[in-house]
Structure 1
């Protein structure tokens, strides 16, 4: 496969240069930001807390969003936005002409997790859309218009309206429970429905090497394979446009039984392993850009 490479991984004078970025052959090119938009993105990323920015060496939000070609004024769907790690950058960056739509798991998926999905949890979870919108308005008083839904409840009016859908560390549980309810298939079908013609999907996902046994990468450990993602996206009506190694971490070499949450920021592991796992850093991740066919 023929590839063109752009080298570097720096933000210099408002210009984002991507490391290990490859565009697929066949006329598809990764979208590019103007210098003005790049400067705006850098400014938005600098406007968050020091605690937030402490994760930048591992998560590379400026480089990642630039690679995906996210532009001000866009309508962006963010899967599993949680506490707003990316949202706090996207809201001011997209601006008042933009929209940020948070989407969470469908309600019927939660019981698959077991233990914590108590009746009280489920009752409270129904309030997530309104609570997330309220949080988003606090995170950025001036910026994109926020809204929120579950993955199976995005309204008909959103059909063909989104410029981009982002799945950032958000696909492993959908894959994990696919056999229980077709959750990954449903999520990708909804993604295809709400995207504009030729709209894009940006994926950052914990990933293991292609050589590991498939049972290691079913999603329950947090990891998936690059090949699995590409196949799933192809079946759902998307073509791979470009990929980047900006979020790779060659130090992350999980063994049989290892879960992604043994690493920072979770560090869910024995105390004896925490120093070594902290030195590894956050997980190895693939960064893939797809376009709606």
Structure 2
């Protein structure tokens, strides 16, 4: 059993519902590299998953939506935290879903029965109404402003896209958004050129959708980042200046 193995490692965890507290559970899930892919573990230094999930308030038993999550980075960490009474549903845009993603998830689900996959076009997220307690959109919200003939990504209306997200969340649910910081300006331009987005645009979008901004934090910020660089530029890739926002759907 994974959680019994963690006891052997000297971590104060006995089960997903133990009294050790959710902070210890999150730390244990992040530290459990034996049950995570090596490539994903390498991303921890820049993504700070323990701090992110504590900040956003992930809890056992939650129904979680993990959009754009076919690399299983967040699913590997979230599944042991939410436990058998919880569920994580990865939503992957059809434009970025292939045989490799299918095979990877099939193997993962064989040992993680509380994980599921949903696939639909990027412009039409397949997210059932009033289903989720928690969602994390990690480094992908900006792409709602992107279009690409090469990848079959059509021009989208961010307000319409967020209307689907809002409907999918239960009253009181949390949506976390992490993205690469852009300088102020037209978001379609900054996304097309740099794959960055102005935090003010995100705040305004979610406010129009009906969400309440509950908290922001600077622990993912990098003041040394040059906001004029493409996020895939080797000089800054994996080290971009990032914001994190915690939105809540009113009860």
Fold-level similarity (TM above 0.5): yes
For 1:239 and 1:126, the matched residues in 2 are separated by 35
Show structure 1 runs of 5+ residues with no match.
1-12, 15-33, 111-120, 268-276
Q: How does 1:61-100 map to 2 (within 5 A)?
A: 61-100=49-88
Q: Select 1:146's aligned residue among 92, 102, 116.
A: 116
Say if 1:243 and 1:135 are closer, same or farther in 2 by CA, change over 3 A.
farther
Where 2:194 maps in the other structure, the secondary structure is coil
For 1:288 and 1:184, the matched residues in 2 are separated by 17
Query: How far off is 1:67 after superposition?
Result: 0.5
Deviations 1:172-215 (A, max 9, x none): 211123995425334312211111012111000011244x6767
Q: How many residues align?
A: 225
1:234 and 2:204 matched: no
Say if 1:230 and 1:129 are closer, same or farther in 2 by CA, change over 3 A.
same
Say if 1:136 and 1:190 are closer, same or farther in 2 by CA, change over 3 A.
farther
Deviations 1:118-148 (A, max 9, x none): xxx8xxx47688546414315xx25633232
Contact 2:147 2:155 in 1 (8 A): yes
For 1:55 and 1:127, the matched residues in 2 are separated by 24
Say if 1:235 and 1:103 are closer, same or farther in 2 by CA, change over 3 A.
same
Contact 2:145 2:187 in 1 (8 A): no
| TM-score (normalised: structure 1) | 0.67
Which residue matches 1:164? 134
Which residue matches 1:243? 216
Say if 1:154 and 1:216 are closer, same or farther in 2 by CA, change over 3 A.
closer
CA RMSD of aligned residues (A): 3.0
For 2:160 and 2:186, the matched residues in 1 are separated by 26
219-228 vs 45-54, which moves further: 45-54
Which residue matches 1:188? 162
Contact 1:171 1:184 in 2 (8 A): no
Say if 1:146 and 1:252 are closer, same or farther in 2 by CA, change over 3 A.
same
Contact 1:76 1:162 in 2 (8 A): yes
Which residue matches 1:288? 245
| TM-score (normalised: structure 2) | 0.77
